[in-house]
Amino acid sequence: MSSHIGKNISVSVFGQSHSAGIGCVVEGIPAGHQIDREALSAFMRRRAPGGLPWSTPRKEADEPEFLGGLVGDITCGAPLAAVIRNTNTRSSDYDALRRIPRPGHADYVAEVKFGGHQDASGGGHFSGRLTAPLCIAGGIAKQLLEESDVYVGAHLRRVAGIDDVAWDMHALTAEDVIAPGEKLFPVVDDRAGERMMDAIVEARSNRDSVGAVVECAAVGMPVGVGEPMFDGVENAIAAYCFGIPAVKGVEFGRGFEAADMKGSEHNDPYCMDGDRVAFRSNNAGGILGGISTGEPIVFRVAFKPTSSIFVEQDSVDLKDGADAKLSLKGRHDPCVAVRAVPVVEAVCALALYDLLLEERMDR
């Protein structure tokens, strides 16, 4: 089971949703960087379950305990290891899932692949709970990027077909990308956010769930980071994004909208801004040929509706080899994307910091 990613700064994630703890080991962080523990804790709280109307009733503090890699608050060059203790589990809610798998989940394929030895409680290692360690690593990467004046932020672009204001990809500032994350509900337009919240609450009352799109951006990336073909900026970000449970699609810049545009509409014309080359637009989303252009890097991530719903569903009884009905128990988010906004920021920061380290090593 591979839960490891990264080249120059690598991240390994361990644990299961209902195990004693979950955590990460991060290798490659240079020594001598001060980590703002209070800022990291605030970032972790954005993802932590807390019983709000749009999230699971399960409550966890998600406060990381560092086992190595820091001396005080300073990185020391050794692998950084951190653990989050699981304190609020109800594994009995999942007893029946070895026999009757949940539609939309990995229960059945995990049963086949691991021969019944997988941890089914809370989804085990397939759970969105494992995004908490990603936020430890990514929260640190965000701070390291900010030392180089690179800022990463995200917002809910769409929930249940309700749109937030789209970012102006060409004119984005650091303040723009940071602002949504400072709100309890991470949107640009609070009125759109209220409608989204209403849709999520309605889905929950109907024992159902809704999907969403998260828009993420990085402002301040220099020109020339990344490689063509298989080591480009899109490749790196997409690989990390697909490590987030429930992600079903990633698009950069105009993305699939580009398929309906003419070249004269989609191309980003060059111009001179004093003595430097600049762009008049940013339809490419800050990346050309896999390499950063200096414009804001902008991408969107599509999240499917939460698979764990309480509507009765068709399934199968793996023991009897017969059709069966499934009435689910447990505690689940009616829209996983709300708490996934900081997770998308985290994986974006990890991907970009890894690429920046590669660029510095090449020079």
Cα distance between residue 121 and residue 58, in whole Å: 14
Any known ligand binding at 47?
yes
Any known ligand binding at 331?
yes
User: Helix axis angle, 337-362 relative to 37-47, nearest 10°?
Assistant: 140
At residue 358, φ and ψ (nearest 5 deg) are: -60, -45
Any known ligand binding at 125?
yes
In sequence order, what are the beta bridge partners of 5? 11
Q: Return the beta strands (E) in 4-88 as ranges.
A: 4-5, 10-15, 21-27, 65-68, 70-71, 74-75, 80-85
Residue 21 CB neighbour total at 10 angstroms: 15
Cα distance between residue 346 and residue 340, in whole Å: 10
Any known ligand binding at 209?
no
Any known ligand binding at 87?
no
User: Helix axis angle, 337-362 relative to 233-241, nearest 10°?
Assistant: 140
Side-chain half-sphere CA neighbours of 243 within 13 A: 28
Distances from the Cα of 50 to the Cα of 74, 257, 331, 339, angstroms: 30, 36, 11, 10
Any known ligand binding at 121?
no
Interior/surface letters 222-233, b for 16+ CB within 10 angstroms, e for the rest: eeebbbeeeebb
Any known ligand binding at 306?
yes
Residue 121 CB neighbour total at 10 angstroms: 21
Residue type, 313: Q
Distances from the Cα of 61 to the Cα of 46, 179, 220, 340, angstroms: 11, 24, 32, 16
Residue 127 CB neighbour total at 10 angstroms: 20
Q: Which residues fall in the annotated binding site for NADP(+)?
A: 47
Annotated binding site for FMN: 125-127, 289, 304-308, 331
User: Which residues fall in the annotated binding site?
Assistant: 47, 125-127, 289, 304-308, 331
